[in-house]
Amino acid sequence: SVVRWAAAAPLMARGAGRKILIAHRGASAYAPENTLPAYRLAIEQGADFVEQDLQITRDGVLVCLHDVTLERTTDVARVFPDRARTESAGGTTIRRWPVVDFTLEEIQRLDAGSWFDERFRGTRIPSWQQAIDAIRGKAGLYPELKAPELYERHGFRMEELVWETLRRNRLHEPGADPKTPVILQSFSAEALKRMRALGCRLPMTMLVRRGEQRRWLTPEGLREIRSFATGIGPDKSLVREDPGVVARAHELGLTVTPYTFRSADPDGFPGVRAEMEHYLYELGVDALFTDNPDQFPRRA
């Protein structure tokens, strides 16, 4: 298992047992998620890694956005009112603007800041390349391959776009840029396996949502994950319900990185700092995703 831990570097690279802070969509409690201001603030607040959620534009460019559609975090409904797709749900009609219907140039006309706070009006959705340029040398990158199966239906291979981008930036090998470690993550085992098939040797975290614990967090499931990934990223409630999963994963050399810790919902703890303390130092997780990097409880 010592060898596996070594393979899981750079999580361990800055000292054995050092807890790792991942800024979830940037410092997203304080700035609009997945924008350069949120990424820059995360770095100022001491993040080891900055997370980006990845989507694909109509012209095949990776951009940073959590949702597969644009309406929650931009003014797309005002700028492109006629470009909605309608969906029926529970007797009501919903209008949605999928990322994949818009080119990068169109997407970068949108305001991705003022929904969060008027101070951020004019903030744009960054391409992944723009995010890399802003973060590189200052923190690690922790990209999530979102909805690869959806993009496949539109003729895009998200894994190939991620791999090409990593290669172009010379970030595709473990340790390629010691100041910019890279860890990949996805809820899709297939996506991570495809990255391996492309030759990617970077650390990878298999995300596990509620409802999937019987598939992935059993001893058999964890052994299967170990065949293609270096760690698990479970919903934090799964760790709280079943704290033994930390030891089971560690036994196999897998890192444990739960999501998501946020001041907006500290889940019964007095605050998000106390909640993070509990998971890091009592339950023994290695790292976590938080909207509040400034509240991360460092020890030594």
260 touches ligand G3P by CB under 6 A? yes
82's tokens: 């006629």
- Contacts with 279 (C-beta within 8 Å, 6 or more apart), sequence order: 236, 239, 240, 258, 261, 285, 288
In whole angstroms, what is the distance from residue 25 CA to residue 51 CA?
A: 5
In whole angstroms, what is the distance from residue 255 CA to residue 235 CA?
A: 14
In whole angstroms, what is the distance from residue 233 CA to residue 256 CA?
A: 6
1's tokens: 């298992």
292 touches ligand G3P by CB under 6 A? no
Pick the closer one to Ca ion by CB: 123 or 186: 186
What would the x/- binding string for ligand G3P be over residues 175 to 214, using CB under 6 A? ----------x---------------------x-------
Nearest distance from residue 120's CB to ligand G3P, in Å?
Answer: 19
In whole angstroms, what is the distance from residue 161 CA to residue 60 CA?
A: 8
147 touches ligand G3P by CB under 6 A? no
What would the x/- binding string for Ca ion be over residues 144 to 163, using CB under 5 A? x-------------------
144 touches ligand G3P by CB under 6 A? yes
266's tokens: 């500290």
107 touches ligand G3P by CB under 6 A? no
Nearest distance from residue 205's CB to ligand G3P, in Å?
Answer: 8
Q: How many CB atoms lie within 10 A of CB 59?
A: 12
Residues that bind ligand G3P (CB under 6 A): 24, 53, 66, 144, 185, 207, 233, 259-260, 289
